[in-house]
Amino acid sequence: MFKKSKYLYIICCMLSFCILTGCVSEKKTEPHNEVIEQQEDDKDVEKPAEGTSEEQEKPSDNTQDPANNPSDSTGSPGIIEPIIQGLPNNEKALGSLVLNATEVNIKEANNRFAFSLLSELYKGESMVFSPLSIEMALSMVANGTEGETTKEIIAAILGTGYSTDLLNEYNHRLLELLPAVDTTVKLNMANALIADISAPIKEDYSLNIESLYYAIARNMDFSHFEEVRSTINDWCYRVTNGLIPTILDDNNVYDALLFLINTLYLKAPWEVPFNKRFLYEGDFYKSNGTIIKKDYLQKVEYFKYATKDNFTILSCNLGKEGLFSMNVFLPGDGGTIEGVIEELSRSGVDSNLLDLKRSFLHIRIPIFETENTYQLPKALQALGIQRAFNASLADFSNLLQPGYSAFIGSITHKAKIQINPDGLEGAAATIVEAAGSSGETEQQPTPIPFFANHPFIYTIIEKASGVILFVGVYDGH
């Protein structure tokens, strides 16, 4: 017997991929010429052990891989084929994502949300998350709410004066255009809506999520919780190229009504790779006072650079056209990560990046990998989203048929980033090659040192629009 009030779970997964939970219906709406198959390099990704069963084995033709051969969403049990928003067939790149005035305002509000969330999540250690993935998941949730519940979600993401329709239009445009900016940057996004077979979901909601967010829709029997868990984790593993092998545990499935899932995968080379011969081994000074040895990417070259009162900014281009970037915010002497977060939250990250100027630098950036899992309810409640988590106050009347209610029981976010001399992969992966050149007829200026040898903040953005894909802190851990 279906309970009249069940949990609504949201799952956000990032690592270069970000995953959010979503609703389902029997229909699947394919975006115009934007539905693509898994990339060829997914063939090398092995399936996790927990995701295999007799029903989930590869097709009889052993040369086929489900990750490379998407089928109808109503296919064999245990297999959910993703709709991945990426650049179809390596067509001509867009070149940049230009936003209109309204979209610029939404982007700036989203970036403020990113640093507000950073302030809530930062606990003095290395961390990374995708504000874009979280925002996409919350937007899908907002489409199912009404009244004050909707107002709280929109206000947390954007502030006052915005509607769900404006947010949907903005997200739809990002899903279509962000992956097409640069053919040398692999940026894929996918959404899914997985609902219990007894869930009384309104058809209008399902159709909106499918058409606006290109979400794959699937109904499953949640009483078979192990099959549900394995299926969702298998989907997550495949669309994140194995970077996030699991997103759902046993506790998430029991008594759940539906899952909204978003994934974001990013793999980008440096515009100019770092030469591995010039790697530097040196000290890194952690915030707790300890000193550790780290390998650094090193280069003497012109970069975009800015000096502020309490920190300096370095921008390193990503992609062969330099249309994406990793921005490093390095506290000055006596400065702290908390102080820089407060300043960027107050003045806005966008306005600070306007001060970047081409400068001759000697840079050192540590090679690192960071992976995090977050339970987000407490942080989001601190930012003003209260009713959606309250069984008595949550209004999901745009999601469910009359007579039924729901509330958010859990929001999980996973993120991972890998940075090396070649580039960046995962939630955020940055690679910097350190090399310098000189000529007999040209006098080079003395390079300004930018040594990221103590904790710093970083963002990964699409430069023309300023959309933040990932935000993180590196503390040497």
pLDDT average, residue stretch 342-365:
92
Where does residue 250 rank: exposed (0-12), middle (13-18), buried (19+ CB within 10 A)? Answer: exposed
Token pair recorded at residue 169: 């239009």
pLDDT > 50? residue 396: yes
pLDDT tens-place string over residues 428-468 = 211 111 112 233 334 557 788 888 999 999 999 999 899 99
Roughly what angle, to the nearest 10 degrees, separates helices 147-157 and 131-142?
160
pLDDT > 80? residue 311: yes
Token pair recorded at residue 263: 């994934």
pLDDT tens-place string over residues 360-370 = 999 999 999 99
Q: How many CA atoms lie within 13 A of 316 on its CB side?
A: 36
In whole angstroms, what is the distance from residue 151 CA to residue 77 CA?
A: 38
Which DSSP category does 205 fall into?
Answer: H
In whole angstroms, what is the distance from residue 159 CA to residue 277 CA?
A: 48
pLDDT > 90? residue 72: no
Domains defined along the chain, listed by start? 5-53+64-269+371-417 (3.30.497.10), 276-367+432-474 (2.30.39.10)
Q: How many CA atoms lie within 13 A of 417 on its CB side?
A: 29
pLDDT given at position 253? 59
Of the given ranges (13-17, 165-169, 185-189, 379-383), which has the lowest mean pLDDT?
A: 13-17
pLDDT > 60? residue 34: no
Q: What is the pTM assigned to this prediction? A: 0.81
Of the given ranges (183-192, 390-399, 418-427), which has the lowest mean pLDDT?
A: 418-427
CA 278 to chain centre: 31
Confidence of residue 93 (pLDDT cuts 50, 70, 90): low
Residue 368: which H helix or E strand, with range? strand 368-375
In whole angstroms, what is the distance from residue 45 CA to residue 27 CA?
A: 29
